[in-house]
């Protein structure tokens, strides 16, 4: 039976940052829906787990938040990326690509290459 994949630790924050980077200021629900959309049905996220991550990012200064009117004209909390957040996203992205590249190389390697 094929199961949905759990989010790897630390990657949720990266997803949040990238979402905010692409879409601009967004409320928690919007972020959650976007992550679900992009990852398709492959990822299992409890939408609620997003909020501790957002708080953490805010404490680190990567995002900023404020109340604002939502699409249905209700009060919602909007999050946006700060300068620190952009920088953080950049370094995290590079780290991630590097890690991915290294792992990829391990998968590509064949026995005769090592001889």
Catalog residues that contact another protein under the rule CB under 8 A. 27-29, 32-33, 46-49, 51-52, 55-56, 59-62, 70, 72, 74-77, 84, 88
Q: Output 21 or 76, the one with its CB closest to another protein.
A: 76
CB 12 within 8 A of CB 48: no
- Tally helices (H) and strands (E) across the chain: 4, 5
- Closest CB to another protein among 94 and 109? 94
Q: Which is nearer to another protein, 44 or 101 (CB)?
A: 44
Among left, alpha and beta (phi > 0; psi -120 to 50; other), residue 108 is: alpha
Report in angstroms how near the CB of residue 110 gets to another protein at its nearest. 41
At 18, give phi and psi (nearest 5°). -65, -40
| Shortest distance (Å) from residue 109 CB to another protein | 35
* Least distance in angstroms from the C-beta of 15 to another protein: 16
- Exposure class string for 19-35: b at 16+ Cβ within 10 A, else e: bbeeeeebbbebbbebb
Distance in Å, CB of 114 to another protein, minimum: 39
């Amino acid at each position: 039976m094929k199961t949905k994949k759990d989010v790897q630790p630390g990657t949720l924050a990266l997803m949040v940052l990238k979402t905010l980077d692409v879409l601009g200021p967004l409320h928690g629900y919007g972020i959650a829906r976007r992550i679900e959309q992009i990852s398709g049905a492959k990822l299992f996220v409890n939408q609620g787990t997003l909020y501790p991550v957002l708080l953490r990012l805010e404490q680190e200064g990567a995002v900023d938040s404020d109340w604002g009117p939502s699409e249905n004209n209700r009060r919602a909390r909007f999050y946006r990326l700060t300068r620190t957040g952009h920088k953080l996203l950049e370094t995290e992205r590079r780290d991630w690509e590097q890690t991915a590249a290294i792992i990829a190389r391990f998968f590509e390697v064949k026995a005769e290459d090592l001889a």
